[in-house]
Amino acid sequence: MGSFVFLIILGLVAVGLMVGFQDLKKKEKQLKERTKQEELWSRERAINDELRIKREEERIRLEEQRIKERLDERDKAFQKLIEREGQRIKELLDEREQAFQKGFCHGRRWLADMIAEKESERDREAEIYLCTKRPPAFQAAQVVRQVKQEKRELCATLKFLEYQLRSYEEYFPFLEDYKEAILDERIPLSGEADNVAAIENTDPVQLFLDKAEYDKLPSADRNQRALERYLTKPKTNWEIGRLYERYLGYFYEMKGWRVTYEGAIKGFEDFGRDLICFKDNRIKIVQAKYWRQERVVREKHVFQLFGTACLYKRQHPNNPIEAVFCSTTELSEEALDVARRLKVNVRVIPFEKTYPMIKCNINSSTKEKIYHLPFDQQYDRAVIGNQPGEFYARTAQEAEENGFRRAWRYRGHQNLNIGTNPPIG
């Protein structure tokens, strides 16, 4: 009996072991299958990641290619624009040359018509805007269209009259010298009398002092007071621009350049060359823009400087010429891009309003020492730096203490080192 029970227990144990072994094998099989499935999933994820990376690389490659194509298209378009602008400038220069070959009067009329046409383009843009805006303003556009031609004719007439007045001043220089005195009511002029003597005896300082101040103050004091009032009086944009040109001239003279103030001397006919600076065989063509900080200089101004520098280069082919655009404010990205491509040097130079302005000039022949205030007749023609001892003074007292006296009248070029272009190759 005991043996039989033992066999039964042994059989049950064997059955249990067999069942446990089968469960173990089943679990092992399940583990292998799960491991295999995870390996498949991992491989699938790796393949998917690889495909995603390849797709992203392809997308980046295509995007880079599109960007390159767009940049190439932009470069081609910009090159075509430069070529068109260059051709247009060449045609304008040829037209200008042909017009002036027929005579100065004919040339100036052509120039006046061209400026009027450019002004008319603004009205044309306004007309297009009024017709295309939402809602359109056709009646207002019609008014602009009607006024446009009349305005163009008036602009051309005005410009021609300006050039005509400039001609009178060129051939009769005393008109330019005396124009402020003629218009100023402090000078006793009469329509029935010969006013030349009254004008010739008028010191520009009198425009800034009353009679008592002028008569009583010593020369250095009255000249200094007139200078201070001249600097603090309200100024037009044109006057501020002229002061900035003079400061840039001083800026370059202090760096050893010899400066001709084209804008101040030639006025309407400076062709956008405010300053021409000379050193050795090199020449800088400088255009000055004194603008408020919130304004941005556009590319058309760079094109203008490039055009006038090209014209000057045609006239002086043997000299290295650099176009320099000086401004008190920043240029737009497009203007900077144009400047880089056309090799125009861009400089942002703030206006230092307290720089020394009194020109102390020494005559090369007589060694006479003369100082000029900014409102004197020959201020922009006087050259500083040709003779030892010439300098810019801050005050009239400083100038007089160094042996200089003031002379405001125009008495011919023999009394001054007049700013003319030096010999060039």
pLDDT tens, position by position, 162-204: 777 777 766 666 566 556 656 666 666 776 666 767 766 778 8
Residue 58 lies in a domain: no
Residue 33 lies in a domain: no
Q: Are residues 142 and 232 in the same domain?
A: no
Please report the sign of the dihedral spanned by the C-alpha atoms of residue 409, residue 377, residue 359, residue 400.
positive
Q: Are residues 265 and 408 in the same domain?
A: yes
Q: Are residues 135 and 210 in the same domain?
A: no
Residue 316 lies in a domain: yes
Measure the CA–CA gap between 244 and 228, rounded to whole angstroms: 17
What's the whole-model pTM score? 0.57
Cross-strand bridge partners of residue 288:
326
Q: Are residues 207 and 159 in the same domain?
A: no
* Domains held by the chain: number: 2
Q: What are the strands of the beta sheet with 391-393, ordered from one edge?
A: 391-393, 358-362, 369-372, 405-406
pLDDT by 10s per residue, the chain, length 425: 667 676 777 777 676 777 677 777 777 777 788 888 888 888 888 888 888 888 888 888 888 888 888 888 888 887 887 888 788 778 877 887 887 787 777 777 777 777 777 777 777 777 788 888 888 888 887 877 777 777 778 878 887 887 777 777 666 665 665 566 566 666 667 766 667 677 667 788 888 888 888 889 999 999 999 999 999 988 888 889 899 999 999 999 999 999 999 887 776 566 778 999 999 989 999 999 998 777 788 888 899 899 999 989 988 888 999 999 999 988 989 999 999 999 999 999 999 989 999 999 998 888 999 999 998 888 998 889 888 999 999 999 999 999 999 986 644 444 445 444 444 43
Helix or strand (DSSP H, E) at 36: helix 2-101
Q: Are residues 270 and 122 in the same domain?
A: no
Residue 390 lies in a domain: yes
Residue spans of beta strands (DSSP E) within 26-115: none
Q: What is the CATH number of the domain that holds 318?
A: 3.40.1350.10
Q: Are residues 164 and 272 in the same domain?
A: no
Residue 212 lies in a domain: yes
How long, in residues, is the chain?
425
* DSSP letters spanning 59-75: HHHHHHHHHHHHHHHHH
Residue 66 lies in a domain: no
Residue 306 lies in a domain: yes
Last residue of a domain, one of 171, 194, 218: 171
pLDDT tens by residue, 126-151: 778 888 888 888 888 787 777 777 77
Measure the CA–CA gap between 394 and 205, rounded to whole angstroms: 17
Residue 13 lies in a domain: no
Q: Which domain holds residue 369?
A: 176-185+202-415
Q: Are residues 350 and 395 in the same domain?
A: yes
Q: Are residues 117 and 260 in the same domain?
A: no
Q: Are residues 216 and 238 in the same domain?
A: yes
Question: Is residue 104 within 8 Å of residue 97, measured between CB atoms?
Answer: no
pLDDT at 102 (0 to 100): 78
Residue with tokens 């060694």: 367
Q: Are residues 349 and 375 in the same domain?
A: yes
Last residue of a domain, one of 121, 148, 171: 171
Q: Are residues 159 and 227 in the same domain?
A: no
pLDDT at 221 (0 to 100): 95
Neighbours of 406 (CB within 10 A): 18
Q: Are residues 222 and 151 in the same domain?
A: no
